[in-house]
Homo-oligomer: A and B are copies of this chain.
Amino acid sequence: MRSNFKGPHRLSRNRPEWQRISGGVAAARGFLASGVAAEIKKQGLDLAVVFSSRPSVACGVFTTNLVKAAPVLLSKKHLSRARGRIRAVLLNSGCANACTGRRGMAGAVRSARCLASHLGIDPYQVVVASTGVIGIALPIQKLLKGIPAAVAALSPDGWEAAARAIMTTDTREKTCAVEGRIGDRPVRIGGMAKGAGMIHPQMATMLSVITTDAAIPRPVLESVFRRVVERTFNCLTVDGDTSTNDMVLLIANGASDAKVEGAGSAYFEQGLEIVCEEMAKMVARDGEGATKFVEVLVDGASSVDQGRRVAKAIAHSPLVKTALYGQELNWGRIVAAAGCSGVRFNPDRVVLRLCGIPVFRNGMAVSSTQRRAEEALAAHDLQIHLDLAQGRASARIWTCDLSHGYIDINGSYIT
């Protein structure tokens, strides 16, 4: 599973390219979305609904944290009971409903039932997702009161409000949608995501809902989805903390009548990868307090897994991240972080490039380039590229710097 660093947009010549369109999570036919203010947060939108007006299939990946929030536990159960035939997603910000015991679970159940009855579907066809502070009780009355308004507001234009309603420390909403063609039929894939903090790739990160009007059998949907999540959302880290509430959900309702099968599934996978990669990068770019977007690319690894371990060690190092924030060419910290990743390599053979400029080679500084590399650090988008000179595998991780802003946000998150 070598990553494709040419970008996922290069398709075979016989196939139409995927085009960006607007519409986010409601770009695909037959999907409606809404975002309303239910007073769960002190101010602003905080309750979102995504609804497929037609029968659908869905699959999800969930946090691997042992401590799972009530909505995660409930949604996994519903996906399984409904055999993937999910029709609606209810999302709230302002409260994670995690570490809230039986009352938290009861609240999640009640909110799913309430939405189902307003939509005329089975409660098992509802996925619920919450994000916000851990350990505080779900304001269930406010949530239940908000549901009729959210259902009434459902429309193809509600996608921006929905994306705003799931934001916590995010500074901007994160949506992406594309349109392609399968056979002679247009197909759309779109989504929304929230991120910012407590972001680390462990099979699932943050909240994201992705919708498509492709007609795709559930087993194909699942395998495509897992591969794409692995290459996109799981290449993402902000602070190495894994949330109790992470969830990425993909719903396909077949409204385009375009059947994904055979070679079409590779084409569909490319479209899905564009959407997921774009949103994953948006999350890194909007990491809590981030002033830099950083791609860590490790080449020459003996396996993708080894490359990832090195890339993650670099992306998680507070010392690397603060140096990037300070725009300091302290590349020794990058080499040191790689050296304690647990992956064996020969430090004398590795080459480290910053924004394309070699700064470390033959076990020491490339002295002629230091000034130029220092200047390159002023850019917003940075690339750390380490060639381990060991094998042929590559891996990449998207992250951000560690700034005063992160401390500000997380030192006073509750108050």
Residues of B within 8 A of A410 (CB): 318-319, 322-323, 326
Interchain CB contact under 8 A, B101 and A363: yes
For A66, the closest partner residue in chain B by CB is B339
Asked if A340 is at the interface of the complex by the 8 Å CB criterion, the answer is yes
Instruction: List residues of A (326-374) whose CB comes within 8 Å of B's CBs.
Output: 326, 328-333, 335-340, 343-345, 347-348, 360, 362-365
Instruction: Say whether, besides A197-B319, A319-B197, A364-B100, A134 and B407 are in contact (CB < 8 Å).
Output: no
Interchain CB contact under 8 A, B99 and A335: yes
Interchain CB contact under 8 A, A332 and B241: no
Asked if A104 is at the interface of the complex by the 8 Å CB criterion, the answer is yes
Interchain CB contact under 8 A, A240 and B202: no
Asked if A179 is at the interface of the complex by the 8 Å CB criterion, the answer is no
Residues of B within 8 A of A348 (CB): 101
Asked if A244 is at the interface of the complex by the 8 Å CB criterion, the answer is yes
Interchain CB contact under 8 A, B406 and A340: no
Contact with B along A382-415 (1 / 0, CB 8 A): 0000000000000000000011101100111111
Which of B65, B316, B323, B333 contacts A340 (CB under 8 A)? Answer: B65
Least Cβ distance of A288 to chain B in Å?
A: 9
Q: When chains A and B are docked, how far (Å) is the Cα of A66 from the Cα of B345?
A: 8
Interface size on A, residues (CB 8 A): 68
Q: When chains A and B are docked, how far (Å) is the Cα of A51 from the Cα of B311?
A: 42
Interchain CB contact under 8 A, A331 and B135: yes
Integer count of this chain's copies in the complex: 2
For A411, the closest partner residue in chain B by CB is B326
Least Cβ distance of A102 to chain B in Å?
A: 8
Residues of B within 8 A of A166 (CB): none
Asked if A270 is at the interface of the complex by the 8 Å CB criterion, the answer is no
Interchain CB contact under 8 A, A325 and B411: yes
Q: When chains A and B are docked, how far (Å) is the Cα of A197 from the Cα of B322?
A: 12
Which of B200, B345, B364, B406 contacts A322 (CB under 8 A)? Answer: B406
Interchain CB contact under 8 A, A328 and B415: yes
Asked if A64 is at the interface of the complex by the 8 Å CB criterion, the answer is yes
Asked if A295 is at the interface of the complex by the 8 Å CB criterion, the answer is no
Interchain CB contact under 8 A, A241 and B337: yes
For A101, the closest partner residue in chain B by CB is B364
Instruction: Say whether, besides A325-B411, A412-B326, A332 and B244 are in contact (CB < 8 Å).
Output: yes
A-B contacts, 13 listed (Cβ < 8 Å)? A67-B339, A96-B332, A98-B332, A99-B360, A99-B364, A134-B333, A136-B365, A241-B318, A242-B336, A242-B339, A323-B410, A326-B412, A404-B407
Given contacts A98-B332, A240-B316, A318-B318, 18 further A-B contacts (CB under 8 A): A67-B336, A68-B339, A98-B336, A99-B335, A99-B365, A101-B362, A198-B319, A239-B317, A241-B317, A241-B319, A242-B336, A242-B340, A244-B332, A244-B336, A326-B411, A326-B412, A328-B412, A403-B407
